Chain A
Amino acid sequence: MKLKRVWAQCVKELSQFRRDRLTVALAFLLPFATLLIFGFAIRLETKNIPLVIQDFDNSAFSRAYIERLYGTNQLDPVRWFRDKLAQDSINQGKASAAVIIPPDFSRRLKEGKTSTIQVLIDGSDVANARVIKNSIRATNTFFLKTEGLLPKQSLITSRTRVWFNPGRQESLYMVPGVLAINLVLYPSILAAIAMVRDKEEGTIVQVYASSTSATELLLGKGLAYLSIALSEAVFLMMAAALIFGTRLAGDPTPLLVGTPLFLATSVMIGLFVGARSNSQSAAIQVVGAANALTTMLLSGFIYPISNIPWPLSLLANLVPVRYYIELTRDSFVRGTGWPGIWFVFPALAALGLVLFWGAWQKLQRMQFSD
């Protein structure tokens, strides 16, 4: 292997990249836009669920109860008609839940009997339904306690303290994941295009005609796009710090070492796909679809990996971004450092090498195939 040839390849790739202003702009604008969209738009916590209440009791008691329900920021009142069926509000999509308080609500409570209220919940959104159910159940207990209908002293009481992210800032959960997703998606697309463009335009023949080896070609292109990916990473992390207030928690060295390693595997994904396809449109589709599916579903970005059923969960272990999300969450939120996340490094290195080998396999002859 000759470093001079690796370097020549790298310099040429960077010159070509720099020449196209639009590509340069997109390489930074698209990840930035993704960061903003995911950072602001995705909220896993449910708030302001529209709720209809029909109060047929209309007593001080029932009004106090209603006040309690709306007292949390989870439920929002929706106006509804007294003489219309409450379920229609759900059917028409005006509300996600309806509570019907019967006329004997306060009377039965005062008599010490069980009073039944009817709760209708839109079950088409399973997660929301669960939240509403728990919320109403909690309100019931709290209401009974404050009205003195239950003993104030529980025999068991839990003192909860949230470890890491004590303010339960949701952006601290999302943003490290978004960083990881950005840093796999865009560098791999750029690298795939760079790999396949020479083939599509036929200029690859010049590389074949020189005695450049597959390793030199892959390293040259890889190095160029690794440096571009690194600048994307620095740019995005600074943007995240400014906009979402993410700060490093604890030892920064795992992030400093892990980021270049992860970016190298991202670039390798692109080179791997590029080496094995013959047109830019095919390469972009493969990289795009593979990344979209794995990062959303198999990376723990939104849905915990522990929820993925076997044997699909095994597949998750082959997704590099899964490891980097662990790393970024640790670096920005948990801060446990090396002891907690050492396994990320051998995993990323192994995946990167496998991808490199896969690309090299295809290119090793450095000739046209028939």
Chain B
Amino acid sequence: MTSIAAHSSIADVAAQDLIIRVRGLRKKYGTLEAVQGIDFEVQQGEVFGIIGPDGAGKTTTFQILSGVMEATGGDIQVLGKAPRDARLGIGYLTQRFSLYLDLSLEENLRYSAGLREVPEDLFLERSRKYLKLMDLDKFPKRLAGQLSGGMKQKLALCCALIAQPKVLLLDEPTTGVDPVSRREFWDVLATLADEGVTMVVATPYLDEAERCDRIALIYGGQLQQIGTPDQLRAGLGLHRLEVRTEAIEDAERALTTPQGTDSSIIDVQTFGDRLDVLVKDIQTGEAQIRLLLDKSPLDGQPGSPVHISRTEPTLENVFVTHLRQQGSDPPFIPFPRIYPRENNQGEMAIYAQDLSKKFGDFQAVKDVDLEIHYGEIYGLLGANGAGKTTTIKMLCGLLERSAGAIILAGQTSNLRSAELRKRMGYMSQKFTLYDDLTILQNLEFYCGVYGVPRHARRAKIDWVLETCGLTGQENMLTGQLPGGWKQRVAFGASVMHEPKILFLDEPTSGVDPLARRQFWRLIEDFAHNGTAVLVTTHYLEEAEHCHQMSFMASGETVAKGSPSQIKAQQPGQLIEVGLAETQVASNLLKTKFDPWRVSIFADYLHVVLDRPDQQISELKSILQAAAIEIRSIRTIPFSLEDAFIGTISRALESQTGGAP
């Protein structure tokens, strides 16, 4: 008897540790098989990431795990039950549909609690706790619709947490959320993981995926890879070399020329002021790069300095390389141009001085200056609600400015004239396409609106369809497309008339890394052909593609320059600390330094120090006092994201009068 009892208790423990078990999950929509047999398991307390291109079947998987949709086949167990029966133990957070925007914070929470039968006293206790944790406790009466994107997602997380679920399913929770809020959001997730909450999270941001314990890469409805971030990176068997040079375009051309099968170079990517080169072997790879760059003259002056630094591949490299091997790299198809290229390089396309906008008492934009030339890509970066969209709307004449001057393509007034509008393209965050029209009808509509000559329409529409990989599916309803694909079609629709000035408001929000690279190739192609591009994005690593940029906070410009200049402007130093207990260490350090100075990157901490000489030893002693072992500690260059967070946090600090 005793042995049987002991045996069964061991089995119970094992069963308890296994929170999610998926075997042969399949889902068919009509004839389309969205998920084609997926197996994985998630252990108690794990943060399990799901990454994959748009339309890979991620959302379908989440809908089945959360019990809101039935699987076509397979054995799915959550908390030891069928998902439907486990719903009370699951918190489910979607990208957009988690909140009632016309209800207040409090009402949203109370509703979620009511649906999940949370008793009143526990509801009060937990809502206080989580609102405080998310920094939302100051305005319980505010309507959810009035919150910024980042705050909305934090509130949605509160709502999911109010029933203290054992599992959190998070389907792209940070899409459209700015980097500062994203870090805060992930810090909260880390806190929850520490409390033992199991999480499954999908994200198009691969830097976020670095913070997961394990990751599954899904593509075409199948699971391609699964493992810890380190395993995935190591599984690639490649090394990354960062190449910095003055003549970046020439260098890229030189390195991407086909080299034959014995070449060490696997992949080349432009990142604004540097090239990322993936090589099989560090030594031979570096030698080959130097050889290639020496052979071809860079910017007409052979021997201009080339810096190569050796690093390890990122998850993004893993993602891109795997999907390229699958042959799913979106093609680059030259844009069928019908107008001759104008010789306007260096002329001013967009100029704004002291641009301001007030909504009632609220100063949305204050004294913004911009100078953008033809052929230039200009990045406008800032937190949610910093005034980027308002600025763009004023520039393209959709919104009346309160003060300031605008010159657009040489015109100072009448910014809505038909002539000027034909030269401009605008892709907004939302509402660009009609969901209830087919893709083809949408594209035809935009051809008509922008006056694309009738004879050229077919070629342009075909180009959009081919670029998006939607040839043959043009009669699909636009509303049925996955979010990332819709963005691609919307981009196509806004450039078919060959605009000379292009406004792109978060074009890549929710788009997968491969498609984002395609986006930027297209944007760069337009810039090469003389188009001035003003773009906003929350992906700081892709903002490196911009020639010039400015950071906005609370409606004001707080930093300006090229990516390298902005990084160089950063006061202090960025320290990377390798240690095992990142969350404990981070919580500890945040009590000693400003919270924004400390952030978690997988099993490293990034700490910004203004006086590194003294503070490094201080940091070491703090960690030693808490018996946290330091694996490595070194100074690393600022990434644009670190620079962004530092600049924005400092600016907000000084605006609120140096509050903690």
Q: Is A212 an interface residue (CB 8 A)?
A: yes
Residue of A nearest to B66 (CB): A209
Q: Is A120 an interface residue (CB 8 A)?
A: no
Q: Which residues of A contact B84 (CB under 8 A)?
A: 367
Which residues of chain A (183-239) have a CB below 8 Å from chain B?
A: 201-212
Known: A205-B94, A211-B87. A16 touches B102 (CB 8 A): yes
Contacting chain B: which of A3-11, A147-155, A168-176, A345-353?
A3-11
Which residues of chain A (244-261) have a CB below 8 Å from chain B?
A: none
Contact of B107 among A15, A201, A365 (CB under 8 A): A15
Cα distance A370–B68 when bound, in Å?
11
Q: Which residues of A contact B114 (CB under 8 A)?
A: 4-5, 7-9, 11-12
Q: Is B75 an interface residue (CB 8 A)?
A: no
Closest Cβ–Cβ distance, residue A220 to chain B (whole Å): 9
Q: Which residues of A contact B116 (CB under 8 A)?
A: 210-211
Asked if residues B111 and A19 are in contact (CB atoms below 8 Å), the reply is no
Asked if residues B69 and A368 are in contact (CB atoms below 8 Å), the reply is yes
Q: Is A2 an interface residue (CB 8 A)?
A: yes
Asked if residues A209 and B111 are in contact (CB atoms below 8 Å), the reply is no
Q: Is B97 an interface residue (CB 8 A)?
A: yes
Asked if residues B112 and A206 are in contact (CB atoms below 8 Å), the reply is yes
Contact of A210 among B94, B96, B115, B143 (CB under 8 A): B115
Q: Is A20 an interface residue (CB 8 A)?
A: yes
Known: A9-B115, A205-B94, A206-B112. A367 touches B103 (CB 8 A): no
Q: Which residues of A contact B99 (CB under 8 A)?
A: 203
Q: Which residues of B contact A2 (CB under 8 A)?
A: 117
Closest Cβ–Cβ distance, residue A349 to chain B (whole Å): 29
Asked if residues B92 and A209 are in contact (CB atoms below 8 Å), the reply is yes
Asked if residues A8 and B111 are in contact (CB atoms below 8 Å), the reply is yes
Asked if residues B68 and A212 are in contact (CB atoms below 8 Å), the reply is no
Q: Is B88 an interface residue (CB 8 A)?
A: yes
Interface centre among A20, A203, A210 (most CB of B within 10 A): A210
Q: Is B30 an interface residue (CB 8 A)?
A: yes
Q: Mark B110-130, 1 if CB is under 8 A from A, else 0.
A: 111111110000000000000
Q: Is B380 an interface residue (CB 8 A)?
A: no
Asked if residues B115 and A8 are in contact (CB atoms below 8 Å), the reply is yes
Q: Is B63 an interface residue (CB 8 A)?
A: yes
Which residues of chain B (6-27) have a CB below 8 Å from chain A?
A: none
Residue of A nearest to B117 (CB): A4
Cα distance A16–B145 when bound, in Å?
12
Asked if residues A16 and B100 are in contact (CB atoms below 8 Å), the reply is yes
- The interface on chain B, measured as residues whose beta carbon lies within 8 A of the other chain's beta carbons, has a size of 33
Cα distance A207–B111 when bound, in Å?
10
Asked if residues B115 and A212 are in contact (CB atoms below 8 Å), the reply is yes
Known: A202-B96, A368-B63. A8 touches B102 (CB 8 A): no
Asked if residues B94 and A16 are in contact (CB atoms below 8 Å), the reply is no
Cα distance A205–B59 when bound, in Å?
12
Closest Cβ–Cβ distance, residue A54 to chain B (whole Å): 64
Q: Is B67 an interface residue (CB 8 A)?
A: yes
Asked if residues B113 and A208 are in contact (CB atoms below 8 Å), the reply is no
Q: Which residues of A contact B92 (CB under 8 A)?
A: 205-206, 209
Q: Which residues of B contact A16 (CB under 8 A)?
A: 100, 102-103
Known: A7-B114, A207-B115, A212-B115. A368 touches B68 (CB 8 A): yes
Interface centre among A7, A207, A211 (most CB of B within 10 A): A211
Q: Is B164 an interface residue (CB 8 A)?
A: no
Cα distance A59–B608 when bound, in Å?
117
Q: Is B90 an interface residue (CB 8 A)?
A: yes
Known: A12-B100, A16-B100. A208 touches B68 (CB 8 A): yes
Q: Is B41 an interface residue (CB 8 A)?
A: no
Asked if residues B68 and A15 are in contact (CB atoms below 8 Å), the reply is no
Q: Is B29 an interface residue (CB 8 A)?
A: yes
Residue of B nearest to A2 (CB): B117
Q: Is B98 an interface residue (CB 8 A)?
A: yes
Residue of A nearest to B163 (CB): A210
Q: Mark B74-99, 1 if CB is under 8 A from A, else 0.
A: 00000000001001101010101111
Q: Is B70 an interface residue (CB 8 A)?
A: yes
Q: Which residues of B contact A9 (CB under 8 A)?
A: 111, 114-115
Known: A5-B114, A368-B68. A206 touches B107 (CB 8 A): no
Closest Cβ–Cβ distance, residue A306 to chain B (whole Å): 46
Closest Cβ–Cβ distance, residue B614 to chain A (whole Å): 51
Closest Cβ–Cβ distance, residue B111 to chain A (whole Å): 4
Asked if residues A5 and B117 are in contact (CB atoms below 8 Å), the reply is yes
Asked if residues B67 and A12 are in contact (CB atoms below 8 Å), the reply is no
Asked if residues B70 and A367 are in contact (CB atoms below 8 Å), the reply is yes
Asked if residues B66 and A206 are in contact (CB atoms below 8 Å), the reply is no
Q: Mark B571-586, 1 if CB is under 8 A from A, else 0.
A: 0000000000000000
Q: Which residues of A contact B98 (CB under 8 A)?
A: 203, 205-206
Asked if residues A370 and B96 are in contact (CB atoms below 8 Å), the reply is no
Closest Cβ–Cβ distance, residue B117 to chain A (whole Å): 5
Known: A5-B114, A8-B115, A11-B111. A205 touches B102 (CB 8 A): no
Q: Which residues of A contact B87 (CB under 8 A)?
A: 209-211
Q: Which residues of A contact B117 (CB under 8 A)?
A: 2, 4-5
Asked if residues A209 and B103 are in contact (CB atoms below 8 Å), the reply is no
Residue of A nearest to B97 (CB): A202
Known: A2-B117, A212-B115. A367 touches B96 (CB 8 A): no
17 inter-chain pairs at a CB distance below 8 angstroms, sorted by A residue, are A8-B113, A9-B114, A11-B110, A12-B103, A19-B102, A19-B143, A203-B98, A205-B68, A205-B97, A206-B112, A206-B159, A208-B66, A209-B68, A211-B87, A367-B67, A367-B69, A370-B28
Known pairs A8-B115, A367-B67. 14 more at Cβ < 8 A? Answer: A7-B114, A8-B113, A12-B103, A202-B94, A203-B99, A205-B63, A205-B94, A205-B98, A206-B97, A208-B67, A209-B92, A211-B88, A365-B70, A368-B69
The 8 closest A-B CB pairs, nearest first, are A8-B114, A202-B97, A210-B115, A208-B68, A209-B92, A12-B111, A211-B87, A368-B69
Binding site for A on B (CB under 8 A): 28-30, 63, 66-70, 84, 87-88, 90, 92, 94, 96-100, 102-103, 107, 110-117, 143, 159
